[in-house]
Chains A and B, each alone.
Chain A
């Protein structure tokens, strides 16, 4: 099967406009006859559900949480990009497009990214109209901050809780439609399979997580907005429930999985403290606007710190290595995430890590506190040389900007980041890879769509900060509602889809068989035992740097672990009740398959690009070495076992941007 990206003809600036002018529409009376299932209620799923319901379709929304408001988009901290150029610093649609493609290390689809940049400004207008309380300046205009990998300030934010506010905006839009009866909401439900009838996605099998009941739901189209698969690593910044199950089941039913190895490892997370750890916590990238990253220059200082004999504040300026500022003078602490993460790993691998595990670097606000303090002292006519006054004023500013993040850090680490530098280390945070989609966001299965983090198209090999929120809302509010209409225009005479067909029956039978196998397995090890083992393999062999040998080992080890899981997993409780262990078991079973494909993809991609770094392919300075031969999307077709997946290539053509070395020096 040849991949067709269905990118419209014409100059990049006109593609989306021309496309919208020519697509088929569904008239309002007919929309009432059409059902759409949306799985997931984060920014992408929530915004899509609200918009499709407003348009008149009958929407059924599903989430595994107890309320759509709790989807993990809520945890995004820093902000959302939009090419508004409110700061007059030279921003434009083209520049946002350019930064995103470059930031993604030239592995994203040009036309999709341009469209994303184009609709970004609508998102801000829309959210403000919905009552999202973005930060404002004293004149009443919207404020912006700057984020990694760019030279303009285009990031809109709501304190350190931008994701929360945008999600609550989408949730409020959903609520309006739930109240009107246009969205039927299924909380505490998990999708366990997609049902294909006559080659088209026509419904899902879902499990009611409270009663354990297996339900059939039909629709004319199915949209997956189920997020990323970073929890394959066990420890990540994802929510505990985040999983790949919906995407993986779709993959097994014919949806190609694209670039699974493109994973973002975020540079600023709180380091691991012990074996009991269940998740990692992100410290927003916005902190890098004011925080300076360093490790000691001298090994004796490192050792003294680890032994508790020396405090970081006691190390003088000349004995600190601000390695990002040293290596990347142009972008300094604001280099993109993949670059910052690798640089931290490089220092820690060289032995300069500053905590007991040797896996932490400092993020220091002392300089920013002094800088802001002096500014404030000047404004208020106080003595700029009075250290006590300046420090107090400076801390107040830092508190106003990052107070909630500092509080979060202190609660977890039990250290006061106003007084001593934060310790940070990279952690798995986002997956750029996902279900392959065409320009219409449709997967290789007709009628099955993937939006938001669940798809692959916009971020290439590395996502820039504040772009995930942008993409989720762009897909849900402004892209899918058009593209899905073109497809559904063929369904106005189809009538209701029956759930009595043999396809539904077969899918339900399979789901029930899997559940029965799990609850009756009576093995010796819990689900977490296997999940942690998988996580260790993923982190050690498919993490920040990968090589041929490790990846080959990972493929074998994951396959063995999967066998062991099915032989020896223990799931207490029954199938027909609230049973979190059972839900977890199903998710881990899918991670155990995805993990193998992930490693296979990383092995096949013999280059370094963005978050995918192969030891064998680096420049003499240790930077990622991209290879022209790999300028394509790897889309994998399921063939039974993950190792048997067949590769399909979508060539990436850049007509509007010059592919060059990605330099932040």
Chain B
């Protein structure tokens, strides 16, 4: 198929940036979206133009590195996938595709489609952990029984890949789905109880400091999340925060 691409080009963080048109021919429906961009980049290199910079690594939907806004949607038109899992069979011959970076004040553009998501790391550093040293002297792993339901729900929250689609798609650029997922994972497990209050307070404070917006329960984040992280996690985070502040 033949496609017209309108891709965001921005030389650096301080550059203004603009959409630039590209044509690609010979796109096979078996290609992944990123492989289609690989083909375009090879073409640009051959023509002595600068290839398009985009983040990607595992190309199997788990590292969370790829991050593109495609035709107005985070990770493109399909549900429950990242860009690297999006295949060209989702598009038709003659389509025009808009490709932009994540847009949020807390995710400044580094170059073209690459943004700086280190704010997510800093939120985790503020409290996204259980304070246990790796001495190997912890109690036996089966020493505390954990109900299958709690373990499974914690796992569902823990599958977050930290890609930032929730922030990119939210009209408020809120990171609450991301933070809620991490808070929930620990809140649901007995190991996480000891520091629960400090954890949620510190993580939320850092989230605010980074400049992420608030949640107005639109639910777009849940729809666009490649891992299907549920809005319940935001509710749980709010409960945890309230609990922490009441004590």
Contacts and interface: CB of A to CB of B under 8 A. Distances in A.
A binds B: yes
Interface string B52-74: 01011111111111000000000
A142 B48 contact: no
A526 B148 contact: no
Interface in A127-145: 127-131, 133-142
A159 B155 contact: yes
Interface string A343-383: 00000000000000000000000000000000000000000
B81 A411 contact: yes
Interface stretch (A277-285, A463-471, A512-520): A277-285
Given A168-B158, A572-B48, A125 B59 contact: no
A352 B197 CA distance: 61
Interface in A625-657: none
Interface stretch (B92-100, B123-131, B166-174, B208-216): B123-131
A67 B46 contact: no
Contacts of A122: 136
A180 B129 CA distance: 12
A124 B34 CA distance: 37
B134 interface: yes
Nearest to B61: A408
A240 B66 CA distance: 12
Contacts of A239: 57-59, 63
B134 A278 contact: no
B85 A75 contact: no
B241 interface: no
Contact of B56 (A240, A274, A526): A240
Interface in B128-172: 128-134, 136, 138-142, 144-148, 151-152, 154-155, 158-159, 161-162
A570 B45 contact: yes
Interface stretch (B1-9, B114-122, B217-225, B231-239): B114-122
Nearest to B29: A414
Contact of B110 (A70, A175, A210): A210
A50 B131 CA distance: 11
B63 A72 contact: yes
A363 B187 CA distance: 39
Contacts of B64: 69-70
A136 B148 contact: yes
Nearest to B45: A526
B63 A74 contact: yes
Contacts of B60: 75, 237, 279, 281-282, 408
Binding site of B, secondary structure by majority: helix, strand, loop or mixed? loop
B53 A65 contact: no
B45 A175 contact: no
B243 interface: no
A580 B117 contact: no
A187 B12 CA distance: 18
A581 B51 contact: yes
Contacts of B145: 139-141
B162 A412 contact: no
A521 to B, nearest CB: 13
B139 A129 contact: yes
Given A138-B148, A179-B126, A278-B38, A119 B133 contact: no
Contacts of B103: none
Given A131-B185, A175-B128, A526-B45, A119 B141 contact: no
A329 interface: no
A276 B62 CA distance: 21
A664 interface: no
Contacts of A240: 56-59
A278 B35 contact: yes
Interface string A445-477: 000000000000000000000000000000001
Contact of A74 (B30, B38, B58): B58
Contacts of B117: 66-67
Contacts of A308: none
Most A CB within 10 A of own CB, among B38, B57, B110, B116: B57
B51 A125 contact: no
A172 B189 CA distance: 15
A599 interface: no
Q: Which of A131, A171, A577 has the largest number of chain B CB atoms within 10 A? A: A131
Given A75-B58, A119-B136, A136-B151, A276 B38 contact: yes
Contact of A130 (B35, B53, B118, B132): B132
B189 A133 contact: yes
Contacts of B35: 276-278
B118 A136 contact: no
A578 interface: yes
Contact of A131 (B42, B53, B120, B189): B189
B162 A67 contact: yes
B125 A65 contact: no
Interface of B: 12, 28, 30-32, 34-35, 38-39, 42, 44-46, 48-51, 53, 55-65, 78, 80-81, 85, 87, 89, 110-111, 114, 116-118, 120-121, 124-134, 136, 138-142, 144-148, 151-152, 154-155, 158-159, 161-162, 185-186, 189, 191-192
5 contacts: A54-B134, A129-B139, A131-B130, A477-B134, A572-B44
Given A164-B159, A274-B31, A278-B35, 18 more contacts: A47-B134, A51-B134, A54-B134, A69-B121, A70-B64, A75-B62, A131-B129, A131-B186, A141-B142, A161-B62, A175-B124, A276-B35, A414-B87, A526-B42, A572-B49, A578-B110, A578-B114, A581-B51
A-B CB proximity, top 10 nearest: A140-B145, A172-B129, A122-B136, A129-B138, A133-B155, A179-B125, A133-B154, A128-B141, A70-B63, A136-B151
